[in-house]
Amino acid sequence: MLLAGCKIDEIRTDGDLNIFRRDLEKYAELGMKAVEVPVHGLDAIREGVLVRKRVQEIFGILHDFDFAYSVHSPNPLNLMDCSDPELHYSVFQCSLEFASRIGAEILVYHAGRFIPEETFGIPLIPERDQEKERQLLEKEAEALLRLSGEFPGVVIGVENARPYLFHSPYCYGERLAALKEQVEKINRPNVRITLDIGHMYMASQFYWFNSSEAVKSIKDLIAHTHIHDNFGGAIYHHEKIQTHQIPFGRGDSHMPVGWGAIPFQAILSPYISSYSGMLIMELRNRYFNHLKESKANLMELLKSLKIESTPFSRGATASGSTG
């Protein structure tokens, strides 16, 4: 069962539950079937502690709508972190518990970074240390084994990364083959892949690999999908303000479906006919008023692939105590 939907933008909501509710109402009006909720955009976690009273408030809002839900963990969350690994582990636990309490099926986690984006130097080119990278991969794998065992009812979707000029490969998840190897090594039914099509297309242009063949190689591991458009051009980390890059066809622009150059048919064809999961339009806040157009383009794309999104009937229930 394929469910088409959209993410809630954490910058747009900025912790305001009134905006959160209004955006959900807009998504219902547009006929969305699934919604991705940013735990970090709703102030549900504070310094590694889940705010259960806040979670109940959020659940009360979500329960008023007939959506399927996924959760996006905070972008800086990194199980390879060496400066404060206990805090990162706690934030991951809280994110999983949040997903469980609101009845979400998927928690999205950005694949671990050998070099955290926040520490990138300009124009320093880091030296590769393959033994250190191996140790960090093992560190992340061990943590994911424990976390997936603690919350067996939530699927952890490890998301593939975008490349950056100079700093790549800063994350093993830039290459789908390496991401597949890590997930298969963990070998848990609730540790799978979140395929971010925009990130994957940028990586295919950066590393010159065939995007369709790469997706075909991981199709049995894909549990969740992000879909948005770009032109495939990599950028430097300090150029992350996307507005300036769009005229040049560069950057992880997260534009509406159909605005960029991604060959969606070729990328979706290897797996979409047998895919059972969400197809989340992950658009930047600046495109909120273009959601209707993006959804229409997505529906046309699915129609061309002889795929239709399927309605979802709400079945989520609250769990745990408040506090």
What is the mean pLDDT of the segment spanning 221-250? 91
Question: Between 309 and 114, whose confidence is greater?
Answer: 114
pLDDT band at 126 (very low <50, low <70, confident <90, very high): low
3-state secondary structure 155-187: EEEEECCCCECCCCCCEHHHCHHHHHHHHHHHC
Residues pairing with 225 in the sheet: 195, 279
Q: What is the mean pLDDT of residues 252-264?
A: 97
The pLDDT assigned to 119 comes to 79
- In a domain? residue 312: no
Residue 294 · residue 18 · CB < 8 Å = no
- Confirm whether 92 is domain-assigned: yes
- Tell me: pLDDT of 12 over 60: yes
Return the pLDDT at 238: 78
* Residue of 56, 100, 135, 256 whose CA lies nearest to 264: 256
Does the pLDDT value for residue 151 go beyond 70? yes
Measured on CA atoms in the order 201, 31, 316, 98, is the torsion positive or negative? Answer: positive
Count of domains observed in the chain: 1
Query: Per-residue confidence at 312, pLDDT binned at 50, 70, 90?
Result: very low
Q: Is 321 within the bounds of a domain?
A: no
> Has residue 261 been placed in a domain?
yes
* pLDDT score at 311: 44
Q: Does residue 320 lie within any of the structural domains?
A: no
- What pLDDT is recorded for position 124? 59
Q: Computed from CA positions of residues 264, 270, 271, 272, in that sequence, does the dihedral angle turn out positive or negative? A: positive
Peptide bond into 123 cis (omega under 30): yes
Mean pLDDT of 238-265: 92
Q: What is the pLDDT of residue 120?
A: 75
What pLDDT does residue 322 have? 30
Q: Is the pLDDT of residue 319 over 50?
A: no
272: CATH: 3.20.20.150
Q: What is the pLDDT of residues 16-63, one digit of tens each?
A: 999 999 999 999 999 999 999 999 999 999 999 999 999 999 999 999
CA-based nearest residue to 102, from 48, 55, 38? 55
pLDDT of residue 121: 66
Q: From 264, 189, 172, select the one nearest 225 (Cα to Cα).
A: 264
Report if residue 322 sits inside a domain. Answer: no
Residue 204 lies in a domain: yes
- Give the predicted TM-score (pTM) of the model: 0.94
Q: At what angle do helices 176-186 and 211-218 cross, to 10 degrees?
A: 0
Domain carrying residue 181: 3-304
Mean pLDDT of the chain: 93
pLDDT digits (tens, 9 = 90+) for 156-173: 999 999 999 888 899 999
For residue 313, tell me if it sits in a domain: no
